[in-house]
């Protein structure tokens, strides 16, 4: 199976990712919802509660007709407890976690720390659409804030999963086959479109479940499934993503001339190359947190190596003002490279966590701009 795909990403004081199982949630069936909240603010935050407001009813924008069946599990018991405030109404119910000190206090969430909870026994209603859930948080020193978290729900026979390449790293110009599983429901209309690379309009893949490409650069693939049900249901969209890295530069030339101005990828004059301070010549022992801003479109290669002595976990998140656009994770004792496609003006958050703070490990960052522009460290 491929890694779980987030159903929703959102941002308040904390950054939120919501997963459902199955994805999308299946009509007239039971599912689960997992919410993960991560502190990327660069400082500790104190939180009194985090909840999901679940709309109750039988319509497209509502999730379930049986709010009393919702259960809660897998929350961090250290400093947290289940939270179901008295605001339950016939139209919605709140469920989540609260600080054990929520009557007047809060629980500390350190920078880079993540908390999560899972809602179980979600009896999904019968109407296709995006259920209009809402995330709410209350941080010390601020008023309570909310953000929309729409979750798609559709017929069980509308399926889209397991988007994956046959090779995650290839040589430039070599073939890669990207495959997935899709199933169209008996009723309604389902369409599928595969996008690859920045700005690609995509191609229709309604009648195939694999495509072959010869890649010359690191490429992100995005598969979008759209289902339009019979009335009274509403259209839903399901999105899967994956990445393929190209091991070597686009082009090797012994003699090259140009009659016009030419921008070459990865040259220092274009802002490309190693990110200052994060080269292969430097090692670390403690957790590292890096925040950068891209001045042009490009790909960031993130390499870690525990030299067989320590296991290094790395997370790379790409965020805009109000949402997380992409999330990559890797864990390895040996050399491991993640590739993150980065649109211009977006912010990249990188966090490493070694399992042994007494052993050296490598964190190297290499920027491949598609235009002219460097990566800017937060404190520059």
Nearest to 356 by CA among 303, 289, 308, 316: 308
State whether 149 and 82 are in the same domain: yes
Q: Of 193, 212, 246, which residue sits at a domain end?
A: 246
Taking the alpha carbons at both ends of the chain, their separation in whole angstroms is: 41
| 326: CATH | 2.60.120.1300
- Residue 20 contacts residue 151 (beta carbons within 8 Å): yes
Supply 37's token pair: 């909240």
Beta bridge partners of 342: 298
Residues of the chain with pLDDT under 50: 1-2, 249, 252, 380
| Spatial distance between the Cα atoms of 260 and 337, rounded to a whole number of angstroms | 35
State whether 12 and 148 are in the same domain: yes
State whether 148 and 18 are in the same domain: yes
State whether 101 and 24 are in the same domain: yes
Nearest to 20 by CA among 54, 65, 69: 54
State whether 145 and 32 are in the same domain: yes
Supply 253's token pair: 């030339």
Does 251 fall in a domain? no
Does 259 fall in a domain? no
Does 150 fall in a domain? yes
Concatenated DSSP letters of 208-258: -SEEEEE-SS-EEEEEEEEEEPSTT---EEEEEEEEEEESS-S---SS---
pLDDT given at position 350: 92
Does 260 fall in a domain? no
Q: How many CB atoms lie within 10 A of CB 83?
A: 19
| Spatial distance between the Cα atoms of 369 and 303, rounded to a whole number of angstroms | 17
Say whether 128 sits in a helix, a strand or coil: coil
State whether 314 and 285 are in the same domain: yes
| Spatial distance between the Cα atoms of 127 and 86, rounded to a whole number of angstroms | 27
State whether 273 and 335 are in the same domain: yes
State whether 87 and 224 are in the same domain: no
Q: Name residue, tokens 């599990």.
A: 73
Say whether 332 sits in a helix, a strand or coil: strand
Residues 6+ apart with CB under 8 A from 48: 98, 99, 101, 102, 105, 106, 107, 138, 139, 140
- Residue 14 contacts residue 109 (beta carbons within 8 Å): yes
| Spatial distance between the Cα atoms of 335 and 172, rounded to a whole number of angstroms | 20
Say whether 268 sits in a helix, a strand or coil: helix
| Spatial distance between the Cα atoms of 370 and 249, rounded to a whole number of angstroms | 13
pLDDT given at position 198: 65
State whether 278 and 227 are in the same domain: no
| 175: CATH | 2.60.40.10
Does 317 fall in a domain? yes
Reported as a single tens digit per residue, the pLDDT across 26-74 is 999 999 999 999 998 888 999 999 999 999 999 999 999 987 778 887 6
Concatenated DSSP letters of 63-76: -BS-GGG-EEE---
Q: Of 86, 121, 154, which residue sits at a domain end?
A: 154
- Residue 374 contacts residue 292 (beta carbons within 8 Å): no
| Spatial distance between the Cα atoms of 231 and 92, rounded to a whole number of angstroms | 24
Q: Of 110, 125, 154, which residue sits at a domain end?
A: 154
Looking only at the bridges linking them, the beta strands covering 336-342 and 45-55 are unpaired
| Spatial distance between the Cα atoms of 37 and 10, rounded to a whole number of angstroms | 10
Question: Which residues form the domain of 345?
Answer: 268-377
Does 252 fall in a domain? no
pLDDT given at position 1: 40
pLDDT given at position 178: 95
Does 32 fall in a domain? yes
Nearest to 152 by CA among 329, 5, 334, 305: 5
Q: How many CB atoms lie within 10 A of CB 359?
A: 17
| 145: CATH | 2.60.40.2230
Domain count, the chain: 3
- Put residue 307 in one of left, alpha, beta given phi > 0 → left and psi -120 to 50 → alpha: left
Does 257 fall in a domain? no
State whether 136 and 112 are in the same domain: yes
State whether 367 and 295 are in the same domain: yes
State whether 361 and 344 are in the same domain: yes
């Amino acid at each position: 199976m491929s890694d779980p795909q987030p159903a929703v990403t959102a941002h308040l004081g904390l950054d939120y990712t919501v997963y459902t199982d199955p994805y999308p949630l299946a009509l007239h069936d039971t599912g689960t919802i997992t919410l993960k909240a991560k502190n990327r603010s660069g400082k500790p935050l104190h939180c009194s509660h985090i909840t999901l407001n679940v709309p109750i009813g039988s319509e497209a924008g509502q999730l379930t007709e049986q709010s009393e069946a919702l259960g809660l599990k897998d929350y961090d018991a250290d400093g947290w407890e289940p939270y179901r405030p008295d605001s339950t109404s016939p139209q919605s119910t709140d469920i989540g976690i609260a600080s054990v000190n929520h009557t007047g206090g809060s629980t500390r969430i350190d920078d880079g720390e993540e908390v999560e909870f899972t809602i179980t026994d979600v009896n999904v209603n019968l109407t296709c659409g995006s259920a209009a859930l809402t995330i709410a948080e209350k941080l010390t020193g601020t008023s309570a804030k909310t953000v929309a978290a729409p979750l798609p729900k559709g017929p069980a026979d509308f399926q889209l999963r397991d988007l994956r390449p046959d090779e995650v790293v290839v040589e430039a110009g070599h073939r890669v086959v990207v495959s997935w599983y899709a199933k169209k429901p008996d009723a309604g209309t389902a369409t599928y479109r595969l996008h690859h690379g920045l700005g690609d309009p995509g191609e229709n893949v309604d009648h195939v479940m694999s495509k072959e490409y010869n890649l010359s650069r690191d490429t992100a693939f995005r598969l979008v499934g759209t289902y339009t049900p019979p009335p009274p249901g509403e259209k839903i969209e399901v999105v899967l993503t994956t990445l393929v890295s190209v091991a070597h530069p686009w082009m090797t030339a012994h003699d090259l001339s140009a009659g016009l101005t030419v921008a070459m990828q990865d040259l220092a004059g274009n802002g490309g190359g190693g990110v200052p301070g994060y080269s292969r010549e430097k090692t670390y022992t403690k957790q590292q947190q890096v925040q950068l801003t891209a001045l042009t479109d490009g790909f960031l290669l993130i390499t870690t190596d525990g030299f067989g002595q320590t296991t290094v976990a790395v997370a790379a998140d790409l965020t805009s003002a109000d949402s997380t656009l992409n999330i990559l994770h890797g864990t390895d004792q040996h050399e491991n490279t993640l590739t993150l496609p980065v649109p211009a003006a977006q912010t990249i958050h990188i966090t490493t966590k070694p399992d042994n703070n007494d052993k050296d490990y490598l964190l190297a960052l290499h920027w491949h701009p598609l235009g002219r522009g460097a990566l800017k460290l937060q404190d520059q």
